[in-house]
């Protein structure tokens, strides 16, 4: 996968929300390819973050794709709201309670695509890559979590490197990694086959967004 272009998606969870439009502007100018937006509902994960209203405001402040990561129990109920708000990529979790019933996950992925967005599927660190296998042909993006979802600033889990390697053998689409990504862990994930690096703390707590984004590309 060495020839594939590496995409960097700063995670806005780590930005200064009192200056949201300005932060969006600055990471764009610093070379961000996508903006990663973390949506949490206080059920699927213990934290609460943002909803479609803020996604729509980010959309109006930005000119690069919005990569919206739904860490919510019932993503199937909110697809239209997030797509209408301007999401380019909508990623749901394979473990989401609302998607467990037979057929609902496939319908959800199909609905995302029919409504004009790209469909992503994510998995928690403890979830086997096998859980994604039945859905590969319905996916544009896989998002491998390299921390337990819910909070920024956690330590990278090295066990996720072989998981990325395994998924890359099966999947030719965009393979993203999220959680604890910096220049060093980013290089390990690129070598394992990831082509999209999501990074919150590493980018937004750096002294130069440009330098941080450049270092992730390797």
Q: How many residues form the binding site for ligand DX5 (CB under 6 A)?
A: 22
CB of 92 to ligand DX5, least distance (A): 13
What radius of gyration, in Å, describes the C-alpha atoms of the chain? 16
Given 190, 201, 209, 213, the residue binding ligand DX5 (CB under 6 A): 201
Residues 8-67 that bind ligand DX5 (CB under 6 A): 11, 13-14, 36, 38
84 belongs to the catalytic site: no
- Alpha-carbon distances, residue 201 vs 16, 113, 158 (angstroms): 11, 31, 18
Q: Please identify, using beta-carbon distances, which residue of 98 and 180 lies nearer to Zn ion.
A: 180
Q: How many CA atoms lie within 13 A of 25 on its CB side?
A: 5
Q: Which does 199 bind (CB under 5 to 8 A by kind): ligand DX5, Zn ion, none?
A: ligand DX5
* Per CB under 6 A, 154 contacts ligand DX5: yes
Sheet holding 66-71, edge to edge: 7-10, 196-199, 174-178, 141-145, 118-123, 89-93, 66-71, 35-40
Cα(51)–Cα(32) distance, integer angstroms:
22
Residues near ligand DX5 (CB under 6 A): 11, 13-14, 36, 38, 69, 147, 149-154, 178-181, 198-202
Residues with active-site annotation? 38, 178
């Amino acid at each position: 996968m060495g020839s594939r272009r590496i995409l960097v998606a700063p995670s806005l969870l780590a930005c200064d929300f009192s200056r949201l439009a300005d932060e969006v502007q600055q990471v764009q100018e610093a070379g961000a390819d996508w903006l990663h937006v973390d949506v949490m509902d206080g059920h699927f994960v213990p934290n609460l973050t943002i909803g479609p209203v803020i996604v729509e405001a980010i959309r109006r402040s930005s000119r690069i794709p919005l990569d919206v990561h739904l860490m919510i129990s019932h993503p199937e109920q909110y697809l239209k709201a997030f797509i209408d708000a301007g999401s380019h990529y909508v990623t749901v979790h394979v473990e989401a309670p609302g998607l467990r019933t037979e057929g609902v996950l496939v319908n959800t992925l199909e609905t995302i695509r029919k409504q004009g967005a790209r469909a992503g599927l994510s998995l928690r660190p403890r979830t086997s890559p096998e859980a994604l296998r039945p859905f590969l042909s319905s996916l544009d993006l896989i998002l491998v979590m390299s921390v337990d979802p819910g909070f920024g600033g956690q330590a990278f889990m090295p066990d996720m490197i072989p998981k990325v390697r395994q998924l890359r053998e099966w999947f030719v689409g965009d393979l993203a990694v999220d959680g604890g990504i910096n220049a060093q862990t980013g290089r390990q994930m690129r070598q394992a086959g990831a082509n999209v690096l999501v990074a919150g703390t590493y980018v937004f707590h750096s002294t130069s967004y440009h330098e941080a984004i450049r270092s992730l590309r390797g």
